[in-house]
């Protein structure tokens, strides 16, 4: 998959979305994870009626009307992000959504604190396996994590011994880790600057979390992190690996992915469903401008690591799209 690329110093750009944490471990290894009420949710499940979710939702009274509206739109076939976008752009909203964002980010922060804590000790999970395999074939890579939880960061620290003690730790070494939409561990100073918390604890305010809409998003991490990411994409990235991410973050695509000038040697998409999902991600991100290159689609994080456990197996024709 990657180890069969000849004569190349592989420098992957890896993008994690909600589907990566959702598929944290193969359910055949831990069947209880599949049924866990605190399994990391996909975006469409953020307002689920799971007991733990319900108990957190009721602590945010200002959020209740929005939850009801979003559930109705989801019942009509829209995803959560599309539903929130519809509310955001409603000309009759009268500014209600702007006040509901605070309650929403507080809910998301509390929810992913509980989710992270519940799943923090799942040993040998897919993040652990992935980072170990990646380090065997690449000395330099950049992780972009759209998840609010800290599960990927914790696994990276445990697998490779990397500590993220301060803001510069995330970008100064050969392995970079970027949270473009914030982290539950982070907060803000009174000056509105990002405060990096190095311990696996909730910052308590959700102030760095970007709400999951389609439009109106911005980055919520130190600006030097975005600059380091842009530099890596422009000068270094030659393989792209996307796991559990739909590619619908237009601000990210425009500010980051469009900087890729040279065709990557390989694009690997991991998601739910069949290769049509991979094609959608390629189109959403604008990576379809690179035609004629090797593209691999695998259904599910666990399946990726079953089929290519060491990243050194030859690309299988049945997974090319």
pLDDT confidence of residue 313:
63
Q: What percent of the chain has pLDDT over 90?
A: 82
Domain coordinates of the chain in residue numbers? 12-32+123-319, 39-119
Indicate whether 145 pLDDT > 80.
Answer: yes
Cite the DSSP H helix spans in 138-222.
151-160
Indicate whether 4 pLDDT > 80.
Answer: no
- 267-292 in b/e form (b: 16+ CB < 10 A) is bbbbbeeebebbebbbebbebeeeee
Taking residues 51-60, what's their average pLDDT? 95
Any idea which of 28-37, 38-47, 175-184, 209-218 has the lowest mean pLDDT?
28-37
Q: How far apart are CA 215 and CA 82, in angstroms?
A: 9
Q: pLDDT tier at 1 (50, 70, 90 boundaries)?
A: confident
Taking residues 117-137, what's their average pLDDT? 95
Average pLDDT, the chain: 93
Indicate whether 315 pLDDT > 70.
Answer: no
What CATH number has the domain spanning 12-32+123-319?
Answer: 3.40.50.1220
Which residue carries 């401008």 as its tokens?
Answer: 289
Taking residues 230-239, what's their average pLDDT? 97
């Amino acid at each position: 998959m990657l180890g069969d690329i000849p004569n190349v110093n592989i420098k992957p750009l890896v993008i994690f979305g909600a589907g990566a944490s959702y598929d944290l471990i193969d359910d055949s290894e831990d069947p209880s994870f599949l049924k866990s009420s605190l399994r990391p949710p996909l975006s469409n499940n953020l307002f689920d009626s799971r007991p733990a979710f319900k108990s957190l939702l009721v602590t945010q009274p200002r959020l209740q009307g929005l939850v009801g509206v979003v559930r109705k739109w989801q019942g009509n076939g829209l995803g959560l992000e599309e539903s929130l976008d519809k509310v955001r752009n409603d000309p009759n909203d009268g500014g209600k959504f702007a006040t509901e964002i605070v309650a929403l980010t507080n809910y998301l922060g509390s929810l992913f604190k509980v989710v992270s804590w519940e799943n923090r000790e799942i040993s040998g999970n897919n993040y652990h396996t992935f980072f170990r395999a990646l380090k065997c074939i690449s000395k330099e890579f950049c992780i972009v994590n759209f998840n609010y939880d800290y599960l990927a960061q914790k696994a990276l620290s445990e697998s490779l011994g990397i500590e993220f003690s301060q803001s510069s730790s995330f970008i100064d070494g050969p392995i970079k880790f970027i949270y473009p939409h914030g982290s539950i561990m982070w907060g803000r100073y009174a000056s509105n600057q990002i405060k990096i918390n190095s311990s696996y604890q909730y910052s308590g305010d959700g102030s760095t979390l970007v709400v999951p809409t389609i439009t109106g998003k911005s980055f919520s991490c130190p600006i030097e992190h975005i600059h380091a990411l842009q530099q890596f994409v422009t000068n270094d990235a030659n393989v792209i690996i996307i796991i559990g991410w739909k590619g619908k973050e237009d601000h990210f695509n425009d500010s980051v992915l469009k900087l890729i000038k040279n065709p990557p040697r390989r694009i690997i998409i991991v998601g739910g469903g069949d290769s049509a999902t991979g094609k959608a991600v390629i189109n959403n991100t604008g990576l379809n401008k690179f035609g004629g290159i090797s593209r691999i689609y695998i259904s599910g994080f666990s399946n990726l690591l079953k089929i290519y456990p060491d990243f050194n197996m030859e690309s299988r024709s049945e997974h090319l799209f």
